Structure 1
Amino acid sequence: MSEKVVVIYSGGMDSYTVLNKALKSGYEVYALSFNYGQRHVKELEVARQACDELGVAHKIVDISAINQLIGGSSLTDDIEVPEGHYEEESMKSTVVPNRNMILLSLAVGYAVSLKASKVFYGAHSGDHAIYPDCRPEFVKKMDDVCRIANYEEIEIVCPYLNSSKIEILTDGLKMGLDYSKTWTCYNGREKACGKCGACQERLEAFTLNQASDPLSYE
């Protein structure tokens, strides 16, 4: 019997790569997506479609009520999404307070109930400058806590923690992944905007891999 794992799956290209990496490693994967009140649910629709096609067990959990407690992010509040690269100071407005600690805690609870051994999520080195809950020291501390928070030890796994988005895409392309099955843009319109930090980093990754992004841009 395969080892069970939970993958926090946003529908974006990083978590899509993590999801497929876990599948190709032989794990029995349970994908978990969250509606935490983000600006749009397009990425969740994309996540559902991808899991249906892959035959992966998938839950989308509505935790949008937490927005009564955590606010001030351009991803959840009526604040304009900044344009520009992730390295720019303005991108700090996209930080959702304590998001990954909350999502990881819920995913660990799900893992315990499934008798799964690991929770995967897609933090990578490109996130380190802006997102405190994607930095190696955070991941290490969360892993320590999640190994002792229950009678069952749950490991936190970030396969691309020290990799750039460029390197994640390189790995995904080697796996033959179809990135038209993903959504990255912070805006949930018909086409990706091409201007927000998420789009710019994605486009940069495709350019440096000498590949074409299958998504359409405004």
Structure 2
Amino acid sequence: MKAITLLSSGLDSVAALAIAAESLEIEMALTFDYGQRACRREIEYSRKVCEHFGIEHRVIKLDWLAEITHTSLVNREEEVPALSLEDIDEAAPTAITEASAKAVWVPNRNGVMLNIAGSFAESRGCDYLVVGFNEEEAGTFPDNSLDYVEAMDHAFSYSTQNGVRVLAPLIKLGKTEIVKKALEVKAPLEYSWSCYHGEETPCRKCESCVRRARAFKNAGVKDPLLERSGI
């Protein structure tokens, strides 16, 4: 069975790739450039992850998506929300995390990416699209949910001749469980980039950084990325 993976270099996509690679032949990884702040870093780290697994890496530019996106993940004139550990509840969304999600929402981003990846998968005879969707983020990002995965599978049953399916190995996991599973399968987390910003080191203040920091703390291990960076 063959698959194409959507790879942002984030904790979730790197963990999902490592898990899927144990049982599937990963044909290619796709990284999308839609003008996001961390784009350069995501491409750099995704390339290193692909070198680790020995798989083809392709970057897809979506300039038009950057043009129509006005939230802070793309628009540098808007401020990315900074959160604390106390602002985040792993089990359920809060008013603060709902506002944070709204501030970084990109119009139909996952829908666009999955449909592009579906075209690649069908053309290469691949059965699956591997994604890092997970239960924790599904609370504020509905396009990370099991319902969304099932809806996309239904759509692909019509739009692809080979019935491409979405494989989300983290769909029932929170971030702490993801870290533990990623370490178990020896995912190259030293080259996983979760920060919404693209500086030399993670900001450790955006929601994605805070969720990641808490997950490694709960798992009782140091973040390999920070360790490699000497932080």
Partner of 1:45: 44
**Aligned to 1:29, what secondary structure does the other structure show?**
strand
Q: Which residue of 2 aligns with 1:12?
A: 10
Query: Aligned with 1:59: secondary structure?
Result: strand
TM-score, L = length of structure 1: 0.93
Does structure 1 retain, via aligned residues, the 8 Å contact 2:73–2:80?
yes
| 8 Å contact kept, 2:18–2:186 | no
Q: In the alignment, which of 183, 196, 199 is matched to residue 193 of structure 2?
A: 183
Aligned length: 215
Report matched runs for 1:107-186 at 5 Å. Answer: 107-186=117-196
Could you list the runs of 5+ residues in structure 1 that have no partner in the other structure? none
Question: Equivalent residue for 1:28?
Answer: 26
Deviation of 1:107 after TM superposition, in Å, equals 0.3
Over the aligned positions, Cα root-mean-square deviation in angstroms equals 1.6
Per-residue CA deviation, residues 31-57 of structure 1 (Å, 9 max, x unaligned), is 111101111321111001121232111
| 1:90 correspondence with 2:88 | no
Q: Aligned partners of 2:74 and 2:204: how far apart in 1?
A: 20
The alignment's TM-score, normalised by the length of structure 2, stands at: 0.88
Gaps of 5+ in 2: none
CA shift at 1:90, angstroms? 2.6
CA distance in structure 2 between the aligned counterparts of 1:215 and 1:153, rounded to whole angstroms = 37
Which string of whole-angstrom CA distances, capped at 9 and with x for unpartnered residues, describes residues 139-194 of structure 1?
Answer: 21111101221222101111111111111111111112331111111111111111
Rounded to whole Å, the distance in 2 between the matches of 1:182 and 1:26 is: 21
Structure 1 residue runs of 4 or more that deviate by more than 6 Å after TM superposition: none
- Residue aligning to 2:58: 59
**After the TM superposition, which of the residue ranges 76-85 and 202-211 deviates more from structure 2?**
76-85
Displacement of 1:109 = 0.4
What's the secondary structure of 1:24's corresponding residue?
coil
Contact 1:13 1:183 (8 Å CA) reproduced: yes
8 Å CA contact retained: 1:4, 1:30: no
